[in-house]
Chains A and B, each alone.
Chain A
Amino acid sequence: MPIGARRVLRGDRQALARLISQVENRDPSALPSVRALYPYSGRATVVGITGPLGVGKSSLVNLLLAHLRSDGKRIGIVAVDPSSPFSGGSILGDRIRLARPPGDDGVFIRSMAARGHAGGVALATRETVRLLDAFGMDVVLVETVGSGQADVEIHEVASTSVVVVVPHLGDEVQSLKAGLFEIADVFSVNKSDLPGADSAARYLSEMTQLVPVTGSWRPVVIQTSTVAPRGIPELWEAVTRHEAYLDSSGSRQTRDRQRLTDEILGLVREQVDAQLLRALEREPDLQALLDRVVAREIDPHSAAERLLGEVRRPR
């Protein structure tokens, strides 16, 4: 087993931190350790905390952390924030809300920039979750970028997705729309100390009742508050119930299989893309072809077909 992987399994936090950076940087030297650690993953409960910016995701994660730590659970946290489309830089500010006793080895917090990846998480998030899992964390909480209506990728990473909303976020029809609200296994109506929380929770509950599907999971709506902490044990209880449902219904297996299929196909596609690009770079007529497209002599579709023909032709 590679030394990096061995150190991670021995509980070496700096080795884990380094490996996560290498994964983030798509450094091929991480691969042997990543491969060796894969069999040690698949044990942690992975909970996604998502929702629009400013609804209190970090504060909720902080309270969940305290709740779960008091239960003796070992917790990994991945907190994703956006990268600048201009400079590529990022301010990762979720740590300021995360409190824990100093020297607590049962917690590992990692901030992560999205690095241009859309969907609410970073490209490296899934692999980082797996590393924290292999490191021995019982629960991994993934806090997404403040999400828009279509940022649903957390659903591919977490076993339970908690969608956090606040009162007065929109009318009933908003909660009918496709996207973010569809991926919720649990809704947290946060800032429930504010007026309007009851009706927001009611809208959501009614929405979850609209479709009568027997035997499937019906999202649970929990009112939470982080200023005068409220609803945190209930929130975790709802997550646990969903996890139990995944096991009893057999959908955990189906889901895992589907996700891993997607992941493998994604990796294949990445390699094929790279090979294709390398082949095209060697294509001497590419510039001439481009010139013709620019001059409107041929269209992009025909140009693509011609290039594909070149790649397919046995050399």
Chain B
Amino acid sequence: MSPSGSVGPIRVLIAKPGLDGHDRGAKVVARALRDAGMEVIYAGLRQTPEEIVESALEEDVNLIGLSILSGAHMALFPRVLALLKQKHATRIRVFAGGIIPDEDAKKLKKMGIRAIFGPGASLDEIVATARRLVGPTHS
């Protein structure tokens, strides 16, 4: 084990909670994060909050990105946050994207979702936000 470079790439879990089969957005974001040098664990469709948090812990990620278009965000996102808290893993930051009305977005941010991206958000902005959320210690 060499003493050099003990901090690795940012690890992000990208998941789609609940019952919604549209994953193009999640894939585009995953690809952009990959191209920004991050290790993206793509968990895919129809994940329960329990599965998402379990995967995030095993993979020791820095970030969870949730993509949702079904409208069930007010039920599923708080559950993910609560599970992270229960597992003493609030070091893992959560951001989200999809169709989320402004008033819901406000509430979700209060609950602890760090950033929310709607249609038209630029990939550069998402990458920059992901980097900012993890902090300066990472590449």
Contacts and interface: CB of A to CB of B under 8 A. Distances in A.
B86 interface: no
Given A17-B60, A22-B6, A89-B38, 6 more contacts: A13-B57, A27-B1, A28-B1, A92-B40, A96-B42, A102-B48
B50 A14 contact: no
Given A92-B40, A95-B55, A26 B2 contact: yes
B57 A14 contact: yes
B42 A92 contact: yes
Interface of A: 13-14, 17-18, 20-31, 34, 83-84, 86-93, 95-96, 102-103, 108-111, 113, 270, 274
A87 B41 CA distance: 16
A274 B1 CA distance: 11
B71 interface: no
Interface of B: 1-9, 11, 30-31, 33-45, 48, 50-51, 54-55, 57-60, 87-89
A277 to B, nearest CB: 11
B41 A95 contact: yes
B42 to A, nearest CB: 4
Contacts of B4: 26
Nearest to B31: A91
B35 A17 contact: no
A94 to B, nearest CB: 9
Contacts of A113: 9, 39
A31 B1 contact: yes
A26 B1 contact: yes
Contacts of B38: 89-90
